[in-house]
Amino acid sequence: MAANTPDTPQHVRLNLTFPVERVHQPLLAQAIKNFGVVADIRRAQIEPATGGYIMLELTGTEKQIDDSIAFWKSFGVGVGFIGTEEAQAY
């Protein structure tokens, strides 16, 4: 098995929790565009009056993922770690 390098793609499962004031901003799309990550949405519920969540698998280098998480947090989005590619449950 090859060793992971900083450029090796990583797969993490995250739960993003959006406050009501952020549901109309394309923060997921901006992270994809700005940091080059790939997002596979597994489950989502967004309500304009109450906020919402997106459960997703994020793929990218460690730096791309870290930068995406820092970006979301800077907008007050909660980021919860669900697991890595080995974890199957949602």
The per-residue pLDDT for 65 is: 96
pLDDT digits (tens, 9 = 90+) for 34-76: 999 999 999 999 998 999 999 999 999 999 999 999 999 999 9
**Two tokens at 15?**
């739960």
Residue extents of the structural domains in the chain: 29-56+68-80
Count CA within 13 A, CB hemisphere, residue 77.
29
Rg (CA), the chain: 13
- As a whole number, the mean pLDDT across the chain is 89
Q: Is 64 helix (H, G, I), strand (E, B) or coil?
A: helix
Residue 89: CB atoms within 10 Å? 6
Record the pTM: 0.85
